[in-house]
Structure 1
Amino acid sequence: HLALKEFGTMRFSDALKPAIGLTAEGVTVTPALAGILGKLSAGMRADPGSAALYRPGGAAPKAGEKWRNPALADVLRALARAESVEPLYRGDLALRLAEGFARNGGLVTARDLAAYRARLVEPLRLEWDGRVIHTPPLTSGGITVLQALGSLRALGWEKIEGDGPRALARVEALRLAWRDRLTLLGDPDFGPVPQARLLSAEYARESAERVRAALKTGRAIDHGLKANLQGGTLSFSACDRHGNMAALTLTHGDSFGAQVTVGELGLTLGHGMSRFETDPAHPNAPGPGKRPLHNMAPVIVTAAGKAITAVGGRGGRRIPNAVFDFLLAQVVERRPFAEALAAPRLHTEGALVVVLCEQIVPRDDAPGATEARVVHYIDRQLDGRLARHRNTYRRGLAALAQTCLELEKDGSRLIIDPGFYTEPMDGLAGVVAIVITHMH
């Protein structure tokens, strides 16, 4: 609402009309969505609000059927009448939402909702060869993207030759950024956080030296961290015929958030507090009014002051790494849009023993799919040896890139993360970054 108010041209009520129509009249259930709704947890099936919304009549909607949320449609209509989100935070809807929290043992009160304010903030920036990458500051995941890119820039990425050394450099740059993310970062409003230092040229050079040492010895840097593979989140990017761009990532967490629904509002509650650390001495420890670290990392890229790319990702902790890989390919290496989007990705969170990487392979057994992704789980030992654990497949990513390009030809276009509707996959499910590039 704040973004529309400050930068948009539409009335808030007009912007809400499509969502009101979909919630009131229903969306057509896809096979993937039907599968998700058919596998709700026992806790969700036992929650009255969730059961009524996601299993109307005691059964999950089937593929091809309409699925409605009339209570949410009423909420959106109330916001449209007010031309504001105020009722949801400081009005009758806020009181009903707070009552829903209280009924279910939640900690959020009407006072908490009333204290919430959306803010306009200065983005973090990284310039590389005439292109500037913009992303939100902490507590978002964008700092990790920029930190890893800064390390490779200081390393002299363009001079590294060979797929092996390049892959290792990517992994170690990400692992260093994740080490700092998981040990040093938290809400900067509640304590000192070295955000400026982590993005400084001096620190990038220090990180580059560590990556260079790893390249020279072939030995991974041991940070003493453990992996915590996550999924979830949704992202979309949009561009109008004037070249204005928006990148938006939103999340419920994983698996329907808290798995509790306030039935009279049609709202399923999130579980953002799970992103805090339990150690009270950690910068990301919970506290009143604190924002937890999250992985969302929407990005706008500009050249000569004009927006040229909007990008975001989904997949929990895989988001910063997927966005990093895309930006490295498209912004730094100047690869064509489709090639950068479809390029294999790496994922690591700083742990020694878990690195995920993708490989594009021919695929003949899937109708309409010419490529698939093999996801390799790599065990990197302390002596630098690699051992592959297992792999799995995901279909149709080449077609996904083509779909993005075709939709992009319109004067005004919107892409909502198609990866959400494709087959679920272990490992790198959902790392596809959905991008719109302004071509004029």
Structure 2
Amino acid sequence: MSVLRLSAALLAAVSALSATAADRVTGAGFATRSEVMAPHAMAATSHPLATQIALDVLKDGGSAVDAAIAANAALGLMEPTGNGIGGDLFAIVWDPKSKRLHGYNGSGRSPKALTLEEFERRGLSDIPAHGPLPVTVPGTVDAWFALHAKFGRRSMAQNLAPAVAYARNGHPVHEVIAYYWDRSVPTLSKWPGFREQFTMNGRAPRKGETWRNPNLARTLETIGREGRDAFYKGAIARTIDAYFRANDGFLRYEDLAAHRGEWVSPVSTNYRGYDVWELPPNGQGIAALQILNLLEPYDLKSYGFGSPEHVHLFAEAKKLAFADRAASYADPDFYRTPVERLISKEYARERGKLISMDKAMKAAEPGIIPELNEGDTIYLTVADKDGMMVSLIQSNYRGMGSGMAAPGLGFIFQDRGEQFVLKKGHPNSFAPGKRPFHTIIPAFVTKDGKPWLSYGVMGGAMQPQGHAQIVINLVDFGMNLQEAGDAPRIQHDGSTDPAGQATAMSDGGELDLETGFPYATVRALMRKGHSVRFADGPYGGYQAIMVNPQGGYIGASESRKDGQAAGY
């Protein structure tokens, strides 16, 4: 079953009305189920078994970070269509001891042996989506250990043990995961190691079938026993080196050995009294802050959810934010993105003058011209009894990644390098040892200096759009945590791409509206010049945990995926 059909079925009851409409006995609009509440701890992930693993860790005395690592390791096994230890990881942690947020950028760099000239020699104008060329250093394992060193309580071997057991003994494949797995197999099976390790005699596992990955079990066991260097400097690293040397790749032992992620300071904007936090580039999180700044002057509440004004203003704000995203978001070691300027209220006021209430803009130029100086996903969130909250996102990019799977290791390498530009002079231009523009972003919201919400919306360019929409649904439209995620979403597509793989927007792009928006809104948008279209499920995946003002936590999980929020 497609994700579109899932969404349509779940939202059919509200297909013609507004956020106040509902046919549930509670009168809650858009909610497919109630919020989850618990007095001590909460976990929300995109797989029920991963959620249960996180709760087991929390009940055993583990911190929210321990539980997040354990759940992430399990998701790499259970949902390889979105993540794994061949990918990168970003996280925001609320630490109740220091009473502040800590950010970690766990993105890997390009191989030092690969150059822009090599792509030119091969006659390539874009980096391929799959195979060895888009592979960058996987940053996830390093990020686990960095987070654990600062906030962990249990050993890493204990944290990885549940994933090891499920990898060895097997688990049933869930519906949405089976759907995406089946779509990936025809494309990725030609790459060495994929068919042998990620198919059942050449096909994807079907819904309900038991999947085992003994190779991943051994890899995770080794990492738990020997530490991060087992992956970056040990036998695993040497296996990776040999594999890429044998298969026209450039990733080397030296790239792995040199890798380190970094602690970074989250940045924020205040939206109607709520401080919304994102990580700075090379990710795209600040686009969500730019969108919110552009929308703050408008009384969205009075317009109403699903009104032509609500959707139109959102689309126009997105176009302006994404113009800056394409021009200025890049590895800060190579280009200093003017973050403070981009997320300032003053800048939003200047840019907001370009928005017309009556007409959709066809083109959007960046507000800051760069001056050079020298991708599917999983999202999860966990909160523990001591008040620690973790917002964590992890991905291989393009679903299952590059298709490259080294023998005996049980994971697929990310193809995040596809997000580089093969054009000299661009902030995101390919260079050896550089981090690409990144789509995956965790988010957090505080109120009056206290934690309020840990959340994320996975799914490529949908992510900052989804982050902004969740905040708007909660703050402007008064939805509860589950309603805010279940409400039909807006996705604008067609903005200029940071990876240089699309020409500059000149036709206004396309506006995808999920089932649930009134047709009167669609007609009004078309009159304003928007191109509104039907699209198969590009609307992302959401998990969230909110601090309950009455005590404990409130959790919500994405109705469009296989996930679960649960607590104790």
TM range (shorter): 0.7 to 0.9
Partner of 1:232: 376
Cα pair 1:240 1:412 within 8 Å, conserved: no
Q: Which residue identity does 2:393 align to in structure 1?
A: T
In 2, the alpha carbon distance for the partners of 1:108 and 1:64 equals 36
Cα pair 1:235 1:417 within 8 Å, conserved: no
Give yes or no for the alignment of 1:2 onto 2:146.
yes
Q: Which moved more, 1:71-80 or 1:188-197?
A: 188-197
Cα pair 1:50 1:268 within 8 Å, conserved: yes
Matches within 5 A, 1:12-51: 12-51=156-195
Partner of 1:243: 387
Relative to structure 1, the CA distance from residue 74 to residue 51 in structure 2 (aligned partners, 3 Å threshold; closer, same or farther) is same
Q: Which residue identity does 1:197 align to in structure 2?
A: R
Relative to structure 1, the CA distance from residue 17 to residue 331 in structure 2 (aligned partners, 3 Å threshold; closer, same or farther) is farther
Matches within 5 A, 1:8-407: 8-82=152-226, 84-153=227-296, 155-157=297-299, 161=303, 163-211=307-355, 214-215=356-357, 217-220=358-361, 222-223=363-364, 232-331=376-475, 333-349=477-493, 350=495, 351=505, 352-360=508-516, 384-390=528-534
In 2, the alpha carbon distance for the partners of 1:92 and 1:393 equals 41
Q: Which residue identity does 1:161 align to in structure 2?
A: Y
| Aligned-partner SS, 2:220 | helix
Q: TM-score, normalised by structure 1?
A: 0.80
User: Using CA pairs below 8 Å that are at least 6 residues apart, which structure has the higher relative contact order?
Assistant: 2
In 2, the alpha carbon distance for the partners of 1:128 and 1:266 equals 44
Greater share of helix: 1
Relative to structure 1, the CA distance from residue 166 to residue 412 in structure 2 (aligned partners, 3 Å threshold; closer, same or farther) is closer
* Aligned pairs, number: 397
Q: Which moved more, 1:185-194 or 1:384-393?
A: 384-393
Give how far 1:23 is off: 1.3
Relative to structure 1, the CA distance from residue 413 to residue 200 in structure 2 (aligned partners, 3 Å threshold; closer, same or farther) is closer
Relative to structure 1, the CA distance from residue 344 to residue 101 in structure 2 (aligned partners, 3 Å threshold; closer, same or farther) is same
Q: Which residue identity does 2:247 align to in structure 1?
A: N
In 1, the alpha carbon distance for the partners of 2:244 and 2:554 equals 37
In 2, the alpha carbon distance for the partners of 1:313 and 1:159 equals 22
Q: Which residue identity does 1:22 align to in structure 2?
A: Y
Q: Deviations over 1:34-86 (max 9, x none)?
A: 4444444445323341111122444443332221111111111111112x212
Partner of 1:428: none
Give how far 1:286 is off: 1.0
Q: Which residue identity does 2:278 align to in structure 1?
A: T
In 2, the alpha carbon distance for the partners of 1:298 and 1:3 equals 15
Partner of 1:369: none
Give how far 1:325 is off: 0.5
Relative to structure 1, the CA distance from residue 346 to residue 393 in structure 2 (aligned partners, 3 Å threshold; closer, same or farther) is closer
Instruction: Give the fraction of aligned pairs with identical amino acids, expressed as a percent.
Output: 26
In 2, the alpha carbon distance for the partners of 1:13 and 1:410 equals 32
Q: Which moved more, 1:138-147 or 1:412-421?
A: 412-421
Q: Deviations over 1:144-179 (max 9, x none)?
A: 0111111222x2445863622222211111110001
Give how far 1:243 is off: 2.9
In 2, the alpha carbon distance for the partners of 1:112 and 1:47 equals 22
Give how far 1:271 is off: 0.5
Give how far 1:283 is off: 0.8
| Aligned-partner SS, 2:353 | helix
In 2, the alpha carbon distance for the partners of 1:276 and 1:86 equals 28
| Aligned-partner SS, 2:309 | helix
Q: TM-score, normalised by structure 2?
A: 0.63
Give how far 1:330 is off: 1.5
Cα pair 1:301 1:307 within 8 Å, conserved: yes
In 2, the alpha carbon distance for the partners of 1:107 and 1:277 equals 18
In 2, the alpha carbon distance for the partners of 1:333 and 1:70 equals 48
Q: Which residue identity does 1:258 align to in structure 2?
A: S
Relative to structure 1, the CA distance from residue 390 to residue 302 in structure 2 (aligned partners, 3 Å threshold; closer, same or farther) is closer
In 2, the alpha carbon distance for the partners of 1:175 and 1:12 equals 43
Give how far 1:263 is off: 2.3
Give how far 1:250 is off: 1.0
Relative to structure 1, the CA distance from residue 233 to residue 392 in structure 2 (aligned partners, 3 Å threshold; closer, same or farther) is closer
In 2, the alpha carbon distance for the partners of 1:387 and 1:56 equals 42
Relative to structure 1, the CA distance from residue 279 to residue 420 in structure 2 (aligned partners, 3 Å threshold; closer, same or farther) is farther
Relative to structure 1, the CA distance from residue 90 to residue 420 in structure 2 (aligned partners, 3 Å threshold; closer, same or farther) is farther
Cα pair 1:160 1:166 within 8 Å, conserved: no
Structure 1, unmatched stretches of 5+, are 226-230, 362-372, 423-433
Relative to structure 1, the CA distance from residue 392 to residue 199 in structure 2 (aligned partners, 3 Å threshold; closer, same or farther) is closer
In 1, the alpha carbon distance for the partners of 2:559 and 2:149 equals 28
Relative to structure 1, the CA distance from residue 78 to residue 34 in structure 2 (aligned partners, 3 Å threshold; closer, same or farther) is same
